[in-house]
Amino acid sequence: MPFHRIESPTQSVADAARQEATGEIWGRAPRWGFRPKVKAFQGPIPTGMRGIEFETEIAPDTGCPPGLALWSGPRVGVVVEGDYARIKVRVTKNTQRS
């Protein structure tokens, strides 16, 4: 299943380029929590939106809200270092290139 992130203050052009180059996506704790999580939307990136689309072998957390995918850890495939969680991905589309 593909996942995507939409361009925003926390998903900048520089972030998209770094994610594509490193094959990693990082995330901090969401506003509603204290554990770092990688956050994305389920499914392909909508037509006309700027962002990235990616695939990963790491299953999202169970019980995610509809349409969202969250990865928290530490667990197999989710590395937590300090304030960040990270997962390995393969970026399949990047519409944030300048």
pLDDT band at 98 (very low <50, low <70, confident <90, very high): low
**The predicted structure's pLDDT at residue 61:** 97
pLDDT > 90: percent of the chain: 91
Average pLDDT over every residue of 50-69: 97
Which residue range forms the structural domain that includes residue 87?
Answer: 3-94
pLDDT band at 31 (very low <50, low <70, confident <90, very high): confident
Distance, in Å, from the CA atom of 34 to the CA atom of 17, rounded to the nearest integer, reads: 27
Torsion 79-55-21-5 (CA) sign? negative
As for how many domains the chain has, the answer is 1
Of 32 and 41, more confident: 41
| Nearest residue to 54 (alpha-carbon basis) of 20, 31, 22, 28 | 20
pLDDT band at 92 (very low <50, low <70, confident <90, very high): very high
Distance, in Å, from the CA atom of 66 to the CA atom of 96, rounded to the nearest integer, reads: 25
